[in-house]
Amino acid sequence: MIFRKKKKRSTQEDREKLLVNFPLDSRFAEAYRTLRTNLFFSDMDNEVKSVLVTSAVEKEGKTTTAVNLGHTIAQTDRQVLLMDCDLRRPNMTKLFPDSPQMGVTDLVTEVFGVHLTQGGLDEYSVGDLVRLTRIQNRSVRLDLENDTTRAALFFHKGRLSGVRWLNRPDDEKPVAEMIRDDLLTEEQIRALNRDAIEAIRAVNAMETGRFSFSPFSGAEARASAGGPALDYEKLFARFKTDTQGLKYCHAAIDNAVVPTDVDNLFFLASGKTPPNPAELVGSGRMAFLMEILKSRFDFIVIDTPPVTPATDALLLAPLVDGTVLVVKSGNTDRKIIQDAIDQFKAVKQPIMGVVLNLVDMRKEGYYKYYHKYYSSYYGSK
């Protein structure tokens, strides 16, 4: 028989295993500090700022390990986010009963999936509108207008393909005639790039006003392109398109992320149970959520489903700096564990380390050694 018979676990039992219930000088706390240190030094070339915690099968202790790891990292004055991405059995969310109903699923499907037609720039920044259009792969025209500026942005399958400054002052129209007459020398192409930059700069400066989305014709798409080989995505990225300017997205995340009882430790619940967890965690919207969260927190610890019954952890692995595999001592067949490790290797996301959980020190013969050297520092605990 591969697995031992498991008794049903209670949420209260899991809560009792949280680090908050143990003294700082306990062996339990010291074990997690050791894990933290090993994690930080696991990659000497790159700073580790996000990890995924998973296991080969269920009930290995991955969720409590993730919470306790986050707790320990928060003790180093880092702002740490615990994130429940086990959308099938969200046990981490059960450990934080006061968390809001909004969670990962709601942010990815509802907040980032909102189908906008019109609205105001007081709620949505230009950056919000551009990024939401991109991750939704929309082919639309976006009109922006306030008291001083009227502009139109054109998207093809989410990619910005053109920008027009509709009320550009006459003294800022250096290439309008060139576009109209199709006279594009090398010098004119350089001017055209300046023209596009001026339009993008004007759009990014809009902090108030109105917006509306509408379909656009093929003729509009060709006219908006303006010239050969202009990469509007690259040009737009030169201005304030980082995640800090995403007014709508940050407001939604503020409503979902909650502080815990531990200083510097925050929590994002799983949210509603989706019908297609693997598709959700492997989507571009999920990658967008991780991009924003990384800009807000010093460290992120993600809890995921076990690898054997679900592929979610494999899909999330490229979005973090590394994966930690939790193994309950004496619980799971080695072939199952090796298969889990091989699955990560197959997708070129090797595991950075394995946590051997609930080791019986007396049974394994380590107790006398551990007791002797630990007690010399902390005494008998």
Task: Say which range, 54-63, 148-157, 170-179, 255-264, has the weakest mean pLDDT.
Answer: 170-179
- Tell me how far apart the alpha carbons of residues 310 and 24 are, in angstroms, rounded to a whole number: 36
Distances (CA, A) of 18 to 12, 33, 37, 81, 346: 10, 14, 19, 16, 33
Q: Is the pLDDT of residue 300 over 80?
A: yes
Per residue in 88-113, pLDDT (tens digit) is: 999 999 999 888 889 999 999 999 99
At residue 178, the pLDDT reads: 44
| Cβ atoms 281, 320 nearer than 8 A | no
Alpha helices in the chain (DSSP H): 11-16, 27-40, 62-74, 91-95, 104-106, 126-135, 176-181, 186-204, 218-225, 232-236, 247-256, 277-281, 284-296, 312-316, 334-346, 361-364, 367-378
Residue 256 to residues 103, 270, 276, Cα–Cα distance (Å) = 6, 10, 21
Under the phi-then-psi rule, with left for phi > 0, alpha for psi from -120 to 50, and beta for the rest, what region is 157?
Answer: left
- Maximal CA-CA distance, the chain: 87
Q: How far is CA 118 from CA 86, 335, 367, in A?
A: 35, 55, 67
3-state secondary structure of 9: coil
For residue 209, report the phi and psi dihedrals to the nearest 5 degrees.
Answer: 130, -160
The pairing of strands 257-259 and 265-268 is antiparallel
Q: How many CA atoms lie within 13 Å of 233's alpha carbon, on the beta-carbon side?
A: 11
**CB-based contact 192:227 (threshold 8 Å):** yes
Residue pair 60/326 in contact (Cβ under 8 Å)? The answer is yes
What is the average per-residue pLDDT within 22-51?
A: 88
CA 28 to chain CA centroid, Å, is 30
Q: Which CATH architecture has domain 11-102+247-378?
A: 3-Layer(aba) Sandwich (3.40)
Say what percent of the chain tops pLDDT 90. Answer: 56
Reported as a single tens digit per residue, the pLDDT across 77-88 is: 999 999 999 999
pLDDT of residue 179: 46
Residue matched to tokens 């969260």: 293
Can you give the pLDDT at residue 379?
53
Q: Which two tokens stand for residue 316?
A: 């999330």
For position 112, what pLDDT does the model report? 97
Q: What is residue 199's predicted lDDT score, i.e. its pLDDT? A: 82
| pLDDT confidence band for 196 (50 / 70 / 90) | confident
Which backbone phi and psi does 295 adopt, to 5 degrees?
-80, -15
Residue 288 reports pLDDT greater than 90: yes
Q: Determine the average pLDDT of the residues in 5-15.
A: 68
CA distance 160 to 156: 7
CA dist 307 and 56 (Å) reads 5
Q: 346 or 360, which is more confident? A: 346
Nearest to 193 by CA among 169, 226, 233: 226
CA–CA dist 293, 12 (Å, integer)? 29
Tokens of 302: 């993600």
Instruction: Read off φ and ψ for residue 347, nearest 5 degrees.
Output: -100, 15
Q: What does the DSSP 8-state code read for residue 359?
A: -
